[in-house]
Chains A and B, each alone.
Chain A
């Protein structure tokens, strides 16, 4: 069944949209990533124009993140205090990121910057995660949490300490603020919520337990993606509500299923899977940059 999308101005199959939303929602519930780094390229692939794909993709991320957070809420695996601190850093970061984005656009190299940062960050994050989680999974299959908490690191000597009860942490607010800022900055430049960077950063830099990380990351992503959707709707008028409806319907269902599975899988398995997914996307983008494209030319509308 085909449906004509009023803003994207193309007709696409409803089931394809529903399926895309579902798959991305599933990953979102499972790993706590918003799925922006997947939904946007997938929408390009089915012929949605890039500005509409980026804006509407962000809207879909909001829907599936809310659905995911509500599921995690019932299991009490959302650290609101940590989420709020991360968000404060995140909003500041994405404001700075929008400035960087505009600066790169003026230089005419934003596409390259986006692709390169995808390759670098996805590659880095994926490789680190895979290495660490494989090692801990192999060392002792029945192991308890791989990351030792209450470890004494340099971050613990920073001032402004705060108690994060859900995460079982008593640390300075500076590292979470910095993490939030960095993720917000990259998110705005790369046009994603930043979950795939946030999740590992929370585990490895902040030392949060994996089961809390997913819900908390989703909580933060709701607001970052929401901010981004709103900005796109206002400045580019590129949010396609009809497209959003189908993606969201698929997404929210997927997110519910995903968060249910996430309770069953072990933390290391979850991280190995996320690492493999991140590396796969990284590999694909790197390949696009390295291999001579079949068509050297591309078209873009002129912005008035």
Chain B
């Protein structure tokens, strides 16, 4: 039976290639890879650089016309966020209005081969939700807020200031219209979860092929233990925290008496 398996595999491969080549829309297709698809957060975690690379696969010569462009996006797990605004009331600055943004990624980086506005059309941006403002979903604002746009802008501004959102135009290197690479720096204040990585191939401001990969970000070792105990055994965690404080307090007292004596 072993002998029969190899020809079967070869047949499957040949079929796959034939179908792949027959896909009409994809005269140029992406082949991609990541330097790491697992990021482990340990106690000494201080950020991580991920290399995202790939090539454009084509059956025919490089077509003429507009240049080939590549956009790479990496996004962290999304969650709703409240954006509050302060106003002066009776002489002091008070939070008055709030808008809840339904979904905002905890991390979002867009790396491109050129200026985003020039290489991507608005329609395509809307469809694939590539640019930072498109990525944030805000359905409705309360009735007393007339300028909800200002709140989304503030969210982006604050996240950019934290290094959580970044648009780095021109940071994807594309050589010979075939090979590309970019480095994405994951910051130290990472949230656990699946980081979706999307790679878009564009020509004439339109997406002609798309791939996605997932980077798993996980706490490991001591970090995982502390996190899980806090979440799963909150009562024990509270007691543990108090015991720890008591022991340390007592320990220091004993140590100092010993030093003085």
**Co-assembled chains A and B:** yes
Query: CB within 8 Å of B: which residues of A?
Result: 2-4, 6-7, 9-11, 47, 59-60, 62-71, 74, 108-109, 111-112, 226, 229-235, 237, 239-242, 244-245, 248-249, 251-253, 255-256, 288-293, 295-302
Contact A252 B242, beta carbon cutoff 8 Å: no
Give 4 nearest A-B pairs by CB, closest first.
A66-B249, A233-B238, A252-B252, A297-B154
Q: Is B191 an interface residue (CB 8 A)?
A: yes
How near does chain B come to A156, taking the closest CB pair, in angstroms?
Answer: 36
Contact A3 B235, beta carbon cutoff 8 Å: no
Residue of A nearest to B237 (CB): A233
- State how many residues of chain B have any CB contact under 8 Å with chain A: 63
Query: CB within 8 Å of A: which residues of B?
Result: 41-47, 79-88, 91-95, 98, 100, 151, 154-155, 157-159, 188-192, 219, 222-224, 226-227, 229-231, 234-235, 237-242, 244-246, 248-253, 256-257
Contact A298 B245, beta carbon cutoff 8 Å: no
Residue of B nearest to A243 (CB): B226
How many angstroms between the C-alpha atoms of A112 and B226 in the bound complex? 33
Chain B residues with CB under 8 Å of A301's CB are: 79-82
Contact B42 A241, beta carbon cutoff 8 Å: no
Contact B252 A302, beta carbon cutoff 8 Å: no
How near does chain A come to B138, taking the closest CB pair, in angstroms?
Answer: 13
Chain A residues with CB under 8 Å of B80's CB are: 301-302
How many angstroms between the C-alpha atoms of A64 and B260 in the bound complex? 19
Residue of A nearest to B259 (CB): A256
How many angstroms between the C-alpha atoms of A52 and B158 in the bound complex? 20
Chain A residues with CB under 8 Å of B82's CB are: 299-302
Beyond the given pairs A4-B46, A297-B154, 20 more chain A to chain B contacts, judged by CB atoms under 8 angstroms and listed by A's residue number, are A2-B44, A4-B45, A4-B223, A6-B227, A9-B191, A108-B98, A112-B92, A226-B242, A230-B239, A231-B238, A233-B234, A241-B240, A242-B222, A248-B249, A249-B248, A296-B85, A297-B158, A298-B158, A299-B81, A301-B81
Chain A residues with CB under 8 Å of B234's CB are: 233-235, 237
Chain A residues with CB under 8 Å of B251's CB are: 252
Residue of B nearest to A245 (CB): B244
Contact A289 B244, beta carbon cutoff 8 Å: no
Contact B188 A71, beta carbon cutoff 8 Å: no
Would you give 9 A-B contacts (Cβ < 8 Å), ordered by A?
A62-B245, A62-B249, A233-B235, A239-B237, A239-B241, A241-B229, A242-B226, A248-B249, A255-B252
How near does chain A come to B150, taking the closest CB pair, in angstroms?
Answer: 8
Residue of B nearest to A291 (CB): B93
How near does chain B come to A216, taking the closest CB pair, in angstroms?
Answer: 16
Contact B91 A6, beta carbon cutoff 8 Å: no
Contact A234 B45, beta carbon cutoff 8 Å: no
Known A-B contacts A3-B44, A302-B80; A9 and B189 likewise in contact (beta carbons under 8 Å): yes
Contact B45 A11, beta carbon cutoff 8 Å: yes
